[in-house]
Amino acid sequence: MITLTDFLIVSAALFCIGLYMTVSKRNAIQILIGIELILNAAILNLVAFGKYDKVNNSGQIFALFAIVLAAATTAVALAIILNVYRRYKTIDPNDITKLRD
Amino acid sequence: MDTFLHAIQSLNYTVAAVVLPLLAALVNFCLPVKSKAAGWISTIAILLSCVLSARVFATIWNNPQVHAQRIWFTIGQTQVYAGILLNNLSVLMLLLVSVIALPVHIYSTAYMKHDERYSRYFTYLSFFCFSMLALVVVDSLILFYAFWELVGFSSYLLIGFWFTKDKAVKANKKAFIMNRVGDIGLLSAIIILFAQFHTFDIDTIFGQNGLAHLMGIQDGKWTLIPNHLPDSVGSVWGRGTITALPALWQYVACAGIFLAVAAKSAQFPLHTWLPDAMEGPTSVSALIHAATMVAAGVFLLGRVYPMFIETELTILACIGCFTAFMAATIALTQNDLKRILAYSTISQLGFMILAMGVGAYASSLFHLATHAFFKCLLFLVAGIVIHQMQHIKDDNNLDIDPQDISHMGGLRKKLPLTFITAVIAALALIGLPLTSGYLSKDGILIQAFEWSDGRNAWFKIIPVMALITSWLTAFYVARLIFKVFFGEFRLLKDNPDIKPHLGDGGWPYTLPLILLAVCCLFPLFSFNPLAYEHAWLFEGLKTSARHAGEGVYHSLIPISVNVISLLLLFAAYRIYTRESRLPFPQKGFFYRLSYNQWYIDNLYKRAIVNPVLRLGSVCFWIDRNIIDGFLHLLTRISGSIAKLAAWTDEYIVDGFLHLLAAIVQSIGNFARKFQSGKVQYYLFSMLVIVLLLFILKILI
């Protein structure tokens, strides 16, 4: 039987992988993928904890809502990356240090 | 009314006579240095002064005195008057100074002809005449003091006229410094007199009914002596009030006046400047250092005579006598022509002071007048002789001192007029009959003997010394004349190849000589060539009616003086013209004493000059090392304090601030490192911190 703990372990693993990708990848797309992984970890948690919800299926709904939002933000993020690429001819975040003091 | 007008006229003439030389001096001062007009401007000024003085003299002499004054300034309640006092004494001096100055001016126009600073010379000479003429007529002690100083100052200028000569500079410094000693005496005397009499007016204090006549020493106080009070005292009374000072102050005042007299008239302790003053031009020596300025001291004595008391007069006589004797002995062995004359001047001034001391007031001033003529003449003669010797020296490039009489001789044939006038002056100086010197000098000797008669036997020393001095005078004058004018020309003997061209010179040289020579003879002063009492000058100055009796001295003294003088003249003639042998050992104690001028200069050098110099160098050392050292120490201390402060400022205060800045900067740099602009790095940092917080939370 699949328990809550298993979900949470998967979720934590996803989260850690996502976080690791976000911190270490040299490609903005891959970082974006990492962020999606973190988001999915959070959504998985939402779904998993939805078991305790008094209202029916609110966890799933909220997960759907978050997925939509994630899709929207991904689109925005891809657009930003596209613009960054146009401007800097690279999408390696280590090379884009305009924010430095 | 008539006398009043005469008085006004005399005063105007006097002022004109005094101011004319000053105007000449001012005009000459503005002229170019080499301008030949200067001589004539000065000469004309002094000629006019002379004429005016003669007018004044004719009006005032033996008439009541003329005294005019006005308020000069007021300090508090004290009104100080300035004015002119003309009495027999001052008009005599006025005439004497201008009459002596006139031939000297004429002589100077020729004598100084080739000098670089011809007009300066006449500026100084006229300025001197102005000071001296003013000195004799002013009525206030303050003005007297001022002109006394000016006389000293112009003498200083003229002694150092050839200031490129080191000796002249030394001589004028010496004269000035020694005169300052006397000036201090005069100044303190004036201050004491003012404290006593509350007035500076010479007439009120020393005049005929002056306060000084009424004063005396009583019970240790210098105060009024009641039985001195004459009946007509009222007029004097209103003008000054008298306080009784302790007697000490009277002595101090007299000592001060004596000091002033000694400095100006070259008396014993302060006489050494006069021989050195001969470094000036000879015409200056003739006017200032023989005839007029040195007489200022005697004149001062004549002005303040009433204030001296018996004992002080005796001291005066002793000092005069000693000076006369000492100077005469020195004059015996000197070889410098002008130096001999200078010591002779000191000796004759000693006679005048002696005469003042023994109460022969009139004789003293009489001798002053006669001495002025013949000593001036002797100096002018000396000037001509020195001038000629200088010419020989320059023409032949000889290495001789033109003033040394041992080179001269036989000049009577080359300079006949000079010779004749010199002989007349010499005879007057010796005091032989038919000359003016006889009248005045024998007067002094006779009165000195009469004075000592009524006293202790010891007092006889003074007139006897004076008598010996007059014999010594005869000898040294004879030595001078014989060595210069008789025998053969010694310079020619030593250097046979030179051809001297000598001559008396033009009229500017001869005219003054003739004028002065005439004044050296008796008719100018008395129609009776043998009795001094009948000289008009003597009668005019006599203070009391005390008529010298027909004492035994009256025939004894002149005879002894003249007979022995003539013997000495003969002896000198034998010794110096035949030159058979030297009369005296040249290395005995007395010779050396006399040749070295009694070692007084050496004594002063050792006792005063060297200690003063040493004191000066000690002061210099103290100044250099202690005062400057202290200051340097202070400088160094404050310098090091400043350095310390600078170090503190730089390393501690600034260091603290720099440290702060460095800390802030390093913190900033440390913080800045995080702002690398790498997004992932930010994220990573955030993760680390959050994790750390969690770990800390778990641990605590």
**pLDDT, position B233:** 47
Is the Cβ of A93 closer than 8 Å to some Cβ of chain B? yes
Within 13 Å of residue B547, how many CA atoms lie on the same side as its CB? 6
The domain locations on chain B are 1-139, 165-264, 265-591, 601-694
What tokens were used for B30? 């503005």
Here the CATH number for the domain that contains residue A55 is 1.10.287.3510
- State pLDDT tens for residues B234-290: 444 444 456 677 888 888 998 999 999 999 888 888 888 888 888 888 888 888 877
Within 13 Å of residue B250, how many CA atoms lie on the same side as its CB? 22
3-state secondary structure of B367: helix
A100 is a domain residue: no
Q: What whole-number distance in Å separates Cα of residue B416 and Cα of residue B249?
A: 56
**pLDDT, position B232:** 47
3-state secondary structure of B245: strand
Return the closest-CA partner of residue B323 out of B469, B113, B197, B471. Answer: B469
A93 is a domain residue: no
Check if the beta carbon of residue B422 is closer than 8 Å to that of residue B428: no
Is the Cβ of B673 closer than 8 Å to some Cβ of chain A? no
- Work out the minimum CA distance from B658 to partner chain A, whole angstroms: 24
Residue B657 exposed, middle or buried by CB count within 10 Å (0-12, 13-18, 19+): exposed
Check if the beta carbon of residue A49 is closer than 8 Å to that of residue A59: yes
Instruction: Indicate yes or no: CB of A97 within 8 angstroms of CB of B678.
Output: yes
Instruction: Count Cβ–Cβ pairs < 8 Å, chain A vs chain B.
Output: 31
Instruction: Indicate yes or no: CB of B675 within 8 angstroms of CB of A22.
Output: no
Q: Quote the distance between the C-alpha of residue B494 and its chain's center.
A: 39
**pLDDT, position B228:** 54
**pLDDT, position B641:** 96
Return the closest-CA partner of residue B594 out of B476, B483, B486, B481. Answer: B476
Is the Cβ of A24 closer than 8 Å to some Cβ of chain B? yes
- State pLDDT tens for residues B565-621: 888 888 888 777 766 555 555 667 777 777 777 788 888 888 888 889 999 999 999
Instruction: Indicate yes or no: CB of A22 within 8 angstroms of CB of B680.
Output: yes
Terminal Cα-to-Cα distance of chain B (whole angstroms): 136
Q: What whole-number distance in Å separates Cα of residue A36 and Cα of residue B46?
A: 134
Instruction: Indicate yes or no: CB of B678 within 8 angstroms of CB of A93.
Output: yes
Question: What is the four-CA torsion angle of B286, B289, B292, B297, rounded to 10 degrees?
Answer: -160
- State pLDDT tens for residues B453-493: 877 778 888 888 888 898 888 888 888 888 888 877 777 77
**pLDDT, position B241:** 55
Is the Cβ of A90 closer than 8 Å to some Cβ of chain B? no
**pLDDT, position B229:** 54
**pLDDT, position B545:** 45
The ranges of chain B with pLDDT < 70 are 1, 225-243, 527-531, 533-534, 542-552, 578-587
**pLDDT, position B544:** 53
Instruction: Indicate yes or no: CB of B677 within 8 angstroms of CB of A31.
Output: no
Check if the beta carbon of residue B379 is closer than 8 Å to that of residue B338: yes
Q: Give φ, ψ of B543 to 5 degrees.
A: -85, -40
A11 is a domain residue: yes
Contacts with B, A 26-65, CB within 8 Å: 31
Is the Cβ of A81 closer than 8 Å to some Cβ of chain B? no
**Taking the model in full, what pTM does it have?**
0.77
- Work out the minimum CA distance from A61 to partner chain B, whole angstroms: 30
Strand B66-75 versus strand B78-86 pairing type: antiparallel
Tokens 């001022």 correspond to B146
- Per the structure, the complete domain to which residue A65 belongs is given by 4-88
Query: What is the mean pLDDT, run by run of 10 residues, along chain A of 101 residues?
Result: 89 93 90 92 90 83 92 93 91 80 63
Please give the residue of chain A at the shortest CA–CA distance from B668. Answer: A101
Return the closest-CA partner of residue B215 out of B311, B308, B315. Answer: B308
- Work out the minimum CA distance from A101 to partner chain B, whole angstroms: 6
Domain count for chain A: 1
- Work out the minimum CA distance from B677 to partner chain A, whole angstroms: 4
**pLDDT, position B239:** 44
Which chain A residues contact residue B675 at CB under 8 A?
A: 99-101
**pLDDT, position B285:** 86
Terminal Cα-to-Cα distance of chain A (whole angstroms): 54
- State pLDDT tens for residues B180-232: 989 999 999 999 888 888 888 888 888 777 777 777 777 777 777 665 555 44
**pLDDT, position B247:** 82
Which chain B residues contact residue A21 at CB under 8 A?
A: none
What tokens were used for B31? 């002229």
